C-alpha cells in the first residue's frame, strides 16, 4: 500500500471484513476483555458505543492526525479499519494485532470462516451531478454511452460501474471495483447539488472452504498485496485519476 494513495483523493480508507458462518454470542465480559486488550495496544481507541442495529463499535479520535482506527463487532462479522492512514505499516500493524487477538477472545475457528474482504476506499468530493460526471469521464467513448447520450436522455440518472473478476480458477480469490455516486433525482430536478463524495471501492475477497487456507492474518496479508497491485495497475490510473481530473476541470 502506497502512502501516496491518500494524496490523490479527499479521503482514503482501508477496511477489513471477516464474515462468519455462525453468530458470535458477544457476551459482555468477552467483548470488554477484547476491547480492553486493543486499548492497551492502541490507546486512541477511546470511544465505545452500541449502534441501533446492536453492533458494537470501538473507535479512535476523529481529530487524530495519524489516522482514525475503528473496530465493529456484529453477530456474524468482525470489521475494522483506518481512515486516512499515515502509512501502510500503521494499517497492517493494527490489522495484524486484531487478527492475532480475535481468535482467543472471540473463539474463532477455521470451520467458522466464510470469507474475508479487504477494501480500499477513495472519496472524491464533487459539487454537481455525480452520474453525469461519471458518464462523461468513463462512458462517453464506450458502446454503452450510446444510451446515456441518446436523444431520449434528458438526464443521466445512473452511471455507476460495478466490475468483478476471479483471480483463481476455483473462484475463491476475487476482486471487485465499484464506483458509487450520491446524486438523487431531486437534486437533478432542482439543479442544486450538495457537495458529496464520489466513492471508488476496490475489494479483494478470499473465500474459505475451496482450497486449504492459512490463518486469517495470512489471508489478509495476501489480500493487501492483491489490493496494492490492482490499485497501482488499474484503479488509480484508470478510475481515480481520471475522475479527479474531471472534477478539477469543472471546479
pLDDT value at 234 more than 70: yes
CA distance 103 to 222: 19
CA distance 117 to 15: 8
- As a whole-number percent, the residues of the chain with pLDDT over 90 amount to 74
CB 158 within 8 A of CB 178: no
Which pLDDT does position 65 carry in this prediction?
61
Digit-coded pLDDT (tens) for 156-196: 999 999 999 999 999 999 999 999 999 999 999 998 999 99
Res. 211 pLDDT band, cuts 50 70 90: confident
Partnered with residue 125 across adjacent β-strands are: 197
Digit-coded pLDDT (tens) for 36-53: 999 999 999 999 999 988
Helix 28-41 vs helix 88-106: crossing angle, to nearest 10 = 150
pTM reported for the whole predicted model: 0.93
CA distance 134 to 120: 19
Which pLDDT does position 171 carry in this prediction?
95
Which pLDDT does position 63 carry in this prediction?
63
Amino acid at each position: 500500500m502506497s502512502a501516496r494513495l491518500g494524496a490523490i483523493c479527499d479521503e482514503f480508507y482501508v477496511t477489513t471484513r471477516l464474515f462468519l458462518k455462525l453468530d458470535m454470542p458477544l457476551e459482555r465480559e468477552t467483548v470488554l476483555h477484547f476491547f480492553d486488550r486493543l486499548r492497551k495496544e492502541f490507546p486512541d481507541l477511546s470511544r465505545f458505543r452500541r449502534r441501533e442495529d446492536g453492533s458494537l463499535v470501538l473507535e479512535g479520535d476523529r481529530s487524530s492526525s495519524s489516522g482514525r482506527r475503528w473496530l465493529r463487532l456484529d453477530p456474524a462479522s468482525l470489521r475494522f479499519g483506518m481512515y486516512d492512514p499515515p502509512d501502510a505499516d500503521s494499517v497492517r500493524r493494527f490489522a495484524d494485532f486484531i487478527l492475532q487477538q480475535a481468535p482467543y477472545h472471540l473463539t474463532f475457528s477455521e470451520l467458522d470462516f466464510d470469507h474475508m474482504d479487504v477494501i480500499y476506499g477513495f472519496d472524491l468530493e464533487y459539487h454537481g451531478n455525480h452520474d453525469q460526471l461519471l458518464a462523461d469521464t468513463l462512458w462517453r467513448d464506450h458502446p454503452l454511452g450510446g444510451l446515456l447520450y441518446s436523444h431520449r436522455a434528458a438526464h443521466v440518472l445512473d452511471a455507476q460501474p460495478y466490475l468483478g473478476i476471479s483471480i483463481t480458477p476455483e473462484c475463491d480469490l476475487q476482486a471487485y471495483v465499484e464506483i458509487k455516486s450520491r446524486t438523487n433525482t431531486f437534486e437533478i430536478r432542482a439543479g442544486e447539488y450538495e457537495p458529496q463524495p464520489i466513492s471508488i471501492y476496490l475489494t479483494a475477497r478470499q473465500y474459505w472452504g475451496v482450497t486449504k487456507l492459512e490463518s486469517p492474518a495470512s489471508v489478509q496479508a495476501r489480500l493487501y498485496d492483491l489490493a496494492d497491485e490492482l490499485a497501482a495497475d488499474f484503479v488509480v490510473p484508470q478510475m481515480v485519476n481520471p475522475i479527479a481530473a474531471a472534477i478539477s476541470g469543472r471546479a
